[in-house]
Structure 1
Amino acid sequence: MIEATGHGAGYFERVFDHRFVPTPHAIGAWAADEQHFSPVAGLVVHEIERTRASEGRPALPMGRISFDILGRIALEEFDVHVEIVRPGRTIELVQATVVIAGRAVVTARAWYLADLDTAAVAGGEPATLAGPESASPWPMGSVWPGGYVASLDIRQVGMPSAGRATAWASTSVDLVVGERAGSLASFLALVDTANGIGVLQDPTKWMFPNLDLTIHLYRQPEGGWTGLDTTVTFGSTGQGLTSTILHDVHGPVGCAQQILTVRPLPEAAGLTS
């Protein structure tokens, strides 16, 4: 059982250089003995940034990061290993792996691209969302359990419908106890929340966890809010897709995609069989 240590509010505590313990704030929505992937993703970005800085890598903006969830992320101590796969002054590829009890449970690959002045040709962005200050608070805990969901401040923009929702997400919980995460890690730590804000089916009857998360950015996000303009689609053969346009308080910054495995919960399947 993971218990709070009293050192401060955070999703994780660093116990060694690259080893962490999740706190109750990291508990997932599908099971009480699992971690929610969203803060794990933010922590991976935090560790990638720490590694690049410690090795004196060029200060490049991240253009894409893709995560593959290889298995259950148990609510246990874990390590994050970071490797510079393709070093470069203008383009760099970094890989990270989350390991629990000797088994890889998450892998990530991040592309960093040259920081150039292309303001003269910038364009094609979607419309900017109404800001969080004008949005309505939504108790996400009324739909989903877990410490992670309980840690969030969710503000809905407009009226949601089945498979379609727009919301702002923020949290007062630090990523790592006693550490200040950068704007990018803090922003990306909330992106995986998208799969829970625009539910297409009742999560007490259907499971639709995501197996991956791929984020593309054409501007580096700023501020303490992550805007999620989300659409969820279920196919007819057990696959689904959550697609999100990402915003910060200044406007759109990129997009995210999550592939879903859609299946009835065993209890629900038994009732209908």
Structure 2
Amino acid sequence: MAAYFRRTGPTAFDPSPDVGGAWNTAEQHVAPTFGLLTHLVESDRLARGREDLAPTRLSFDVWGPYPLARMDTTVRVLRPGRGVELVEAAVSCGGRQVATLRAWLSASGDTSALAAGIPAPVPGPQDTPAWDPTTDWPGGFVASIEVRRELAEPGRGRVWARTDVPLLQDEEVGPLARTAGLLDVANGMTVRADPRRVAFPNLDLTAHLFRVPVGGWLGLDTSVTFGPAGAGLTSAVLHDTTGPFGLLAQSLVVRPLG
């Protein structure tokens, strides 16, 4: 099976047509790139022997649109430490930086006796109606995912998403990176306005995690807000099939079309 990306060098990757964007099908959808950046951070963590650390925050920034072309990557530790580290991964395309991830990693430990305040679970994918996301969006990436959705109203709903497309060709990828490669669908699966009439791309995505997801289905209990001055916010409680595992937020630029 074809993957979203194929490694062509130690730090270089080529995208497949399945990475095609939703706002512009000649550009890349950022969702798989977020998964790739997370995989790079995870691979670097393991290569440095830091199995004792787990990601607690993934903060992505999108520097601009980028084509379906070769991508070059870097990873560096910005803040080393015994119990806490800050690691940055970056992707460039066409000689221009296009996306970055800054990930906080912290030492793992058993706090099960203190666990509390966890959001309520939501009905699982088996209890959520199937929905075709190509109803609202074009592009290879959107066509490559399976979605189940139940809307309460425009901009408010519950979504489950998964994909059978591997993130990387012939390379093992962990459940966190696979999940991170789906996070960006939060902004497009419970739209507040028709994307053919209103543009609302996100500039960033930050996920705060209180445990590592198991992979497979990603659940999003989502709310989309449009403000009065051209800005918006998509927020979601993150779930896997065992329960909630974190929170997500995306800053939106809201622009009427036409």
Judge same fold: TM > 0.5, yes or no.
Answer: yes
Counterpart AA for 2:35 = G
Structure 1 residue 152 displacement after superposition: 0.5
* TM-score w.r.t. length of structure 1: 0.92
Structure 1 residue 198 displacement after superposition: 1.0
Q: 2:44 aligns to what SS in structure 1? A: helix
Give the Cα separation in 2 of the matches to 1:58 and 1:252.
23
Give the Cα separation in 2 of the matches to 1:75 and 1:264.
26
Give the Cα separation in 2 of the matches to 1:54 and 1:127.
36
Counterpart AA for 1:26 = V
Counterpart AA for 2:160 = W
Give the Cα separation in 1 of the matches to 2:32 and 2:104.
20
Q: Is residue 80 from structure 1 mapped to residue 73 from structure 2 by the alignment?
A: yes
Counterpart AA for 1:152 = I
In structure 1, the residue matched to 2:179 is 187
The answer (yes or no) to whether the contact 2:154–2:193 under 8 Å persists in 1 is: yes
Give the Cα separation in 2 of the matches to 1:59 and 1:227.
27
Counterpart AA for 1:232 = V
Question: What is the number of residues matched between the two proteins?
Answer: 258
Task: Give the unaligned 5+ runs of structure 1.
Answer: 1-7, 269-273
Q: 2:39 aligns to what SS in structure 1? A: helix
Structure 1 residue 58 displacement after superposition: 4.0
Q: Is residue 24 from structure 1 mapped to residue 24 from structure 2 by the alignment?
A: no
- Pairwise mapping of residues 157-176 of structure 1 onto structure 2 (< 5 A)? 158-176=150-168
The answer (yes or no) to whether the contact 2:239–2:246 under 8 Å persists in 1 is: yes
Task: Give the unaligned 5+ runs of structure 2.
Answer: none
Q: Give the counterpart of 1:54 among 47, 54, 68.
A: 47
The answer (yes or no) to whether the contact 2:222–2:235 under 8 Å persists in 1 is: yes
The answer (yes or no) to whether the contact 1:58–1:89 under 8 Å persists in 2 is: no
Deviation per CA, 1:90-131, whole angstroms, max 9, x where unpaired? 111100111112211112100001111111111111110111
Further displaced range: 62-71 or 160-169: 160-169
Give the Cα separation in 2 of the matches to 1:58 and 1:128.
29
Q: Is residue 145 from structure 1 mapped to residue 150 from structure 2 by the alignment?
A: no
Structure 1 residue 195 displacement after superposition: 0.3
Q: Give the counterpart of 1:247 among 239, 242, 251.
A: 239
Counterpart AA for 2:100 = T
Give the Cα separation in 2 of the matches to 1:103 and 1:115.
36
In structure 2, the residue matched to 1:213 is 205
In structure 1, the residue matched to 2:196 is 204
Structure 1 residue 73 displacement after superposition: 2.2
In structure 1, the residue matched to 2:30 is 37
Q: Is residue 124 from structure 1 mapped to residue 125 from structure 2 by the alignment?
A: no
| Moved >6 Å (runs of 4+) | none
Q: Is residue 106 from structure 1 mapped to residue 104 from structure 2 by the alignment?
A: no
Q: Is residue 65 from structure 1 mapped to residue 67 from structure 2 by the alignment?
A: no
Further displaced range: 199-208 or 53-62: 53-62
Counterpart AA for 1:214 = T
CA-atom RMSD in angstroms: 1.1
In structure 1, the residue matched to 2:225 is 233
Give the Cα separation in 2 of the matches to 1:59 and 1:141.
41
Sequence identity, in percent? Answer: 48
Q: 1:169 aligns to what SS in structure 2? A: strand
Counterpart AA for 1:123 = A
Q: Is residue 9 from structure 1 mapped to residue 2 from structure 2 by the alignment?
A: yes
Q: 1:159 aligns to what SS in structure 2? A: strand
The answer (yes or no) to whether the contact 1:78–1:99 under 8 Å persists in 2 is: yes
In structure 2, the residue matched to 1:5 is none
Counterpart AA for 1:51 = D
Give the Cα separation in 2 of the matches to 1:67 and 1:223.
19
Structure 1 residue 258 displacement after superposition: 0.2
* TM-score w.r.t. length of structure 2: 0.97
Q: 1:41 aligns to what SS in structure 2? A: helix
